[in-house]
């Protein structure tokens, strides 16, 4: 980048080594350039914006003070890591962010040596960093390990499990709480910053350690001194909990004050044992539209950086909106309905419900395990909980699905959004496995709608059942093929014959019905909209088998253990010998790209289905086979 660019300092930073070579007084200018570059980049590609803008100064300070990548820097979730990517040699590839073949929207070990732990889901940073700290100790290494976690992510149980474990084993670990749920409060000013510098400094810590040694033989005096210390610290900082867990707590400090950040981090770097630094930042910092509405600017489509105005999305109703409408309609008619979400109110379509029925709406925070067992407890008392959750996040509560819902046959309805491929968010957020991990659970009824209308009908069907049910629908909008009787219940376990053809029968699950119908026109194939993954319509399957040579199952789920495997099991149990071609997602992670690009890569668009079926007919067939 030439000297006359708007980024004269940032253009010289190609790695943290370059950053550490600069004088400290240049860091505020670098922060301004880094913030502006982030805004301009994301305005073209879309992605996560507000969180990264809030961590610009913290990112600079961490790479300035610590010897990354030798020192391990573990980020939580990864929404806030665009500035980290820019400073670690990826600035010139930021225009490829979240695109097929480009940079991931999250830290990835395969992408950079500075991404020491791959993330996408929240609350994993402290556990992973603790493992790295213990590994360093085992090897006699003096490297530093830092975990950066947000206040939202800290609400998850795994974060506190890791804190408890780290404090108990006296691990050499620095945990940084990036607290961005509030603007800078009055106590995060000159006095608080001064106290943080003093309390993290060598004089205070040496006196603190020395007094423990001296007072160790004088228990009454020692206990009094400890209570006085906790009382004084408690008056100016909310660190009692972390102190009790065994951490040396410092903060809160202003996360946008580079001088304080650098000084405090240097002091804490030289300490040993478990340390906890509380940093307060502002989401969207430095960009007025994002500061004003950090929720809207958390994840953005391309936008005009001058105004913040985003590109308009299509007017088609999304599956998420269909769910939100169904939820409000059903809640108005049945007071037993309770809606639960693990910190995904906007993403799961619960805004209108939370406003109309606030007494029946529960956002439990980033706590998927608790969400499921909480729902189970409600169901035990005669209520009808609906858990609105992304497919990829439901994975985090699998034991609760088994132990608390399935085995007890409780009427909990799971509205599973983002089933299948999700596009630019990549493999950490793709709902590739839900049909597989749900299908093996007893008592569950599992449905996959092919369009918006069926989504509402299946939700009504699942809500009326006396056992657990799941409705799994994709991201975005559907084919808009029919809008009729949206709240009518479907006969459980019954498929729908959509096209009668010859030789080939395609059994399509959920979103795959649309490309299957297109492919069937060129193949003259029969098409069945299976609708139910469990129970399967065995009568329909056996009827179709009688006058076809090839059965093709297709699903937007991994082939292994998925809906197609269920069809195989039905045929095997009945002793039916027929060629079966199972098509679905491959047995490997799919990188980011548009949904259309990824479906084409997997051979699950109409052209890909046509090609794979013709190849099977021409070249002979194996009993079970996944897409390329």
Sign of CA dihedral 602, 608, 613, 618: negative
How far from chain centre, in Å, is Cα 138? Answer: 32
Cα–Cα distance measured from residue 112 to residue 69, given in angstroms and rounded to the nearest whole number: 10
Nearest CA to 27 out of 15, 2, 10 is that of: 10
Count how many residues are written for the chain: 628
Q: How far is Cα 412 from Cα 522, in angstroms, rounded to an integer?
A: 42
- Please tell me the distance from the alpha carbon of residue 523 to that of residue 521, in angstroms, as a whole number: 6
Name the CA dihedral angle for 8, 14, 16, 18, rounded to a multiple of 10 degrees: -60
Catalytic option among 108, 396, 418, 531? 396
Concerning whether 100 is annotated as a catalytic residue, the answer is: no
**CA–CA dist 531, 317 (Å, integer):** 20
- b or e along 162-180 (b: 16 or more beta carbons within 10 Å of the residue's beta carbon)? bbebbbebebbbbbbbbbb
Q: For residues 494 and 481, what is the distance between their CA atoms, to the nearest angstrom? A: 20
The tokens of 407 are what? 């085995």
Look at residues 468, 490, 273 and name the one whose alpha carbon lies nearest to residue 385. Answer: 468
- For 311-332, the DSSP string reads PPPPSSPBHHHHHHHHHHHHHH
Options 33, 57, 243, 368, the catalytic residue: 368
Question: CB neighbours (10 Å) of residue 376?
Answer: 22
β strands within 87-227, DSSP E: 145-150, 174-179
Q: What angle do CA 10, 292, 316 make, to 5 degrees?
A: 100
- Which position has the token pair 């340390």? 275
User: What distance in Å separates the CA atoms of residue 57 and residue 259, rounded to the nearest whole number?
Assistant: 10
Query: What phi-psi label fits residue 170: left (phi over 0), alpha (psi between -120 and 50 degrees) or beta?
Result: left
Options 98, 143, 283, 475, the catalytic residue: 283
Spatial separation of the C-alpha atoms in residues 305 and 78, rounded to whole Å: 22
Mark out the alpha helices in 237-318 (DSSP H runs): 240-244, 258-269, 288-292
In 3D, which of 275, 227, 268, 269 has the Cα closest to residue 247? Answer: 275
**Residue closest to 294 by CA, chosen among 285, 303, 302, 305:** 285
Distance, in Å, from the CA atom of 581 to the CA atom of 568, rounded to the nearest integer, reads 10
283 is catalytic: yes
Alpha helix positions (H), 270-406: 288-292, 319-333, 351-356, 368-380, 391-394, 398-400
d(CA 581, CA 505): 10
Q: Which residues, in sequence order, are CB contacts of 177 under 8 Å at separation 6+?
A: 149, 150, 151, 154, 251, 276, 277, 278, 279
Closest CA to 453 of 314, 316, 313, 319: 319
Cα 56 to Cα 78: distance, rounded to the nearest angstrom: 13
Active site residues: 283, 368, 396
């Amino acid at each position: 980048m030439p000297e006359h660019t708007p980024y004269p300092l940032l253009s010289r930073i190609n790695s943290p080594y370059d950053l550490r070579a600069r004088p400290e007084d240049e860091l505020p200018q670098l922060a301004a350039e880094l913030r502006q570059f982030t805004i301009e980049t994301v305005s073209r590609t879309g992605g996560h914006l507000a969180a990264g803008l809030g961590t610009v100064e913290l990112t600079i300070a961490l790479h300035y003070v610590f010897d990354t990548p030798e020192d391990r820097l573990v980020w939580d979730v990864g929404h806030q890591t665009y500035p980290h990517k820019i400073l670690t040699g990826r600035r010139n590839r930021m225009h490829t962010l979240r695109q097929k073949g480009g940079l991931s929207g999250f830290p990835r070990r395969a992408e950079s040596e500075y991404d020491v732990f791959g993330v996408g889901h929240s609350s994993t940073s402290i556990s992973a960093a603790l493992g790295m700290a213990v590994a360093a100790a085992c090897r006699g290494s003096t490297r530093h390990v830092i975990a950066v976690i947000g206040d939202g992510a800290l609400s998850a149980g795994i974060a506190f499990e890791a804190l408890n474990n780290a404090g108990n084993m006296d691990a050499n670990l620095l945990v940084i709480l990036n607290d961005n749920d509030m603007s800078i409060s009055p106590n995060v000013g000159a006095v608080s910053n001064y106290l943080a510098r003093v309390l993290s400094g060598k004089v205070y810590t040496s006196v603190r350690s020395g007094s423990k040694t001296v007072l160790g033989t004088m228990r009454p005096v020692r206990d009094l001194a400890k209570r006085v210390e906790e009382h004084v610290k408690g008056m100016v900082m909310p660190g009692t909990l972390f102190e009790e867990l065994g951490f040396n707590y410092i903060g809160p400090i202003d996360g946008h004050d580079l001088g304080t950040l650098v000084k405090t981090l240097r002091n804490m770097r030289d300490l040993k044992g478990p340390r906890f630094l509380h940093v307060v930042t502002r989401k969207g910092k430095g960009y007025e539209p994002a500061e004003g509405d950090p929720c809207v600017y958390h994840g953005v489509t391309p936008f005009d950086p001058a105004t913040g105005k985003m590109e308009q999305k299509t007017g088609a109703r999304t599956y998420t909106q269909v769910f939100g409408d169904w939820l409000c309609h059903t809640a108005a008619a049945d007071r037993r309905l309770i809606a639960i979400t693990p910190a995904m109110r906007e993403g799961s379509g619960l805004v209108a419900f939370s406003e109309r029925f606030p007494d029946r709406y529960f956002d439990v925070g980033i706590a998927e395990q608790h969400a499921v067992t909480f729902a189970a407890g409600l169901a035990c008392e005669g209520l009808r909980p609906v858990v609105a959750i992304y497919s990829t996040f439901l994975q985090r509560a699998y034991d609760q699905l088994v132990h608390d819902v399935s085995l007890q046959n409780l009427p909990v309805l799971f509205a599973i959004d983002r089933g299948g491929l999700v596009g630019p968010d990549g493999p950490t957020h793709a709902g590739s496995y839900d049909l597989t991990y749900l299908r093996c659970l007893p008592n569950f009824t599992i449905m996959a709608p092919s369009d918006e209308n069926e989504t509402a009908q299946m939700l009504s069907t699942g809500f009326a059942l006396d056992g657990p049910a799941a409705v799994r629908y994709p991201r975005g909008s559907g084919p808009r093929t029919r809008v009729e009787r949206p709240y009518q219940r479907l006969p459980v376990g019954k498929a729908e014959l959509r096209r009668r053809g010859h030789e080939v029968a395609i059994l399509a699950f959920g979103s795959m019905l649309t490309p299957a119908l297109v492919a069937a026109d060129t193949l003259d194939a029969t098409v069945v909209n299976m609708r139910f993954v469990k129970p399967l319509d065995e009568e329909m399957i056996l009827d179709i088998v009688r006058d076809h040579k090839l059965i093709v199952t297709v699903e937007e789920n991994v082939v292994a253990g998925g809906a197609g495997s269920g069809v195989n099991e039905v045929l095997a149990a009945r002793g039916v010998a027929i060629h079966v071609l199972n098509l679905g997602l491959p047995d490997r992670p799919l990188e980011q790209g548009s949904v259309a690009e990824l479906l084409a890569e997997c051979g699950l668009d109409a052209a890909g289905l046509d090609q794979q079926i013709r190849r099977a007919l021409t070249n002979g067939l194996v009993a079970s086979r996944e897409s390329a």
